[in-house]
Amino acid sequence: MQPIASKVDEKDKAKDMRHKVLCYSLAIMLVPVTLPFKDFDELQQAFFNIDTDQDGMIPRQHAKHILRQRCQIKEAVDAALSIADVHKSDVFDLCSVACADLIALQFFGNGPTHQPLQGPFGSADLAPRMLKKFFEVFGGRQQQITLAGVKARLRSATYREMEANAGVDYEEMMADFPDGAIDAQMLTSLISGNAGRGTPLGHDDNSKSNNEGFFSWLGLFGQCMAGGAHVREDSPF
């Protein structure tokens, strides 16, 4: 019989994985809208300069070096890289570096009055904040988004570079999005259901199994969105 402590540890690891997948996917969607092309171009040029063997991957220490040029807060960069490294491989492609850059700068490295945010810096704390930001960016004051609205906001020079050089296919990512209104719980379900499809994670045969049980986690958002405007009990807002 497996020890209870071991089962609890596995459950915690699975939950952390699900949070990371959600944060990673939301970051990919936010990058084209929130990261100016000039910044992304500098980021990918730095990546290409380090990736001398052109295998599309760089080690953590080099990814950290790139991000520290843009975010001076070591804790923010370290935490962002840990979240973007969904499978704990300690190697990063351009997509995961871009995701970590967004997380470090917009969620961990910049607080009120430009003071550094204090921890915690875990994926469980970040996920509801990223969901909130996502709906602010793509839904404005609404707590719902539409497929047409997301597509309209995504189109940018950064969007094209993410598709051309970072292994992202946004149409594939949103292939199962309905035409009607999408709220936070539905979005979370949709991200779970596509198992990383349209992203570099989708190239990993283990991505689907790593996301099993994601639906049972949806109810946690209502408890962890502190300070949000609650529309209903099980909503992250």
Does residue 237 form part of some domain?
no
- Summarize pLDDT for 163-209 with one digit per residue, the tens: 999 999 999 999 999 999 999 999 999 998 887 899 998 865 444 44
Does residue 103 form part of some domain?
yes
Say how many domains are in the chain: 1
Does residue 230 form part of some domain?
no
Does residue 52 form part of some domain?
yes
H helical segments located in 85-175: 94-103, 123-139, 147-154, 157-165, 170-173
- Summarize pLDDT for 84-129 with one digit per residue, the tens: 999 999 999 999 999 999 999 999 876 544 555 556 688 999 999 9
Kindly report the CA angle at 80 between 13 and 133, in degrees rounded to 5? 95
Q: Given this model, what pLDDT does residue 231 score?
A: 35
- Summarize pLDDT for 134-156 with one digit per residue, the tens: 999 999 877 899 999 999 999 99
pTM for this one?
0.81
Q: Which residues form the domain of 124? A: 8-222
Does residue 2 form part of some domain?
no
Residue 230 phi/psi, 5° resolution? -80, 120
Answer yes or no: is pLDDT of 8 > 80.
Answer: no
Does residue 129 form part of some domain?
yes
Burial zone of 75 (CB within 10 Å; 0-12 exposed, 13-18 middle, 19+ buried): middle
Q: Given this model, what pLDDT does residue 197 score?
A: 92
Does residue 231 form part of some domain?
no
Per-residue pLDDT band for 13 (boundaries 50, 70, 90) equals confident
Does residue 39 form part of some domain?
yes
- Summarize pLDDT for 45-91 with one digit per residue, the tens: 999 999 999 999 999 999 999 999 999 889 999 999 999 999 999 99
